[in-house]
Amino acid sequence: MGLKADDCATAAICVCCHDSIDNGSKLSRDERRQLMDRAIVLTVIQIARLGLVVPA
């Protein structure tokens, strides 16, 4: 069983992007990690801008 990420490390991405990052045979492990990290940061920025989360 895989390790579950903290709820704060959620990325709002489409099914195709999720599949590419999780199962992407065309991407290296480092490339997949970099894409997921970027998606997580962009998601946090967006929800902060919407006022759904307040920075501590």
Token reading at 24: 């992407």
Q: Are 39 and 21 in contact (CB under 8 A)?
A: yes
Q: Which residues contact 32 (CB under 8 A, 6 or more apart)?
A: 21, 22, 24
pLDDT reported for residue 21: 86
Question: Residues of the chain whose pLDDT is less than 70?
Answer: 1-2
Give pLDDT tens digits for 5-15: 787 888 999 99
pLDDT reported for residue 9: 84
Mean pLDDT score of the chain? 87
pLDDT reported for residue 6: 82
Token reading at 28: 């290296």
Q: Are 55 and 46 in contact (CB under 8 A)?
A: no
Give the span between the Cα atoms of 40 and 35, in whole angstroms.
9
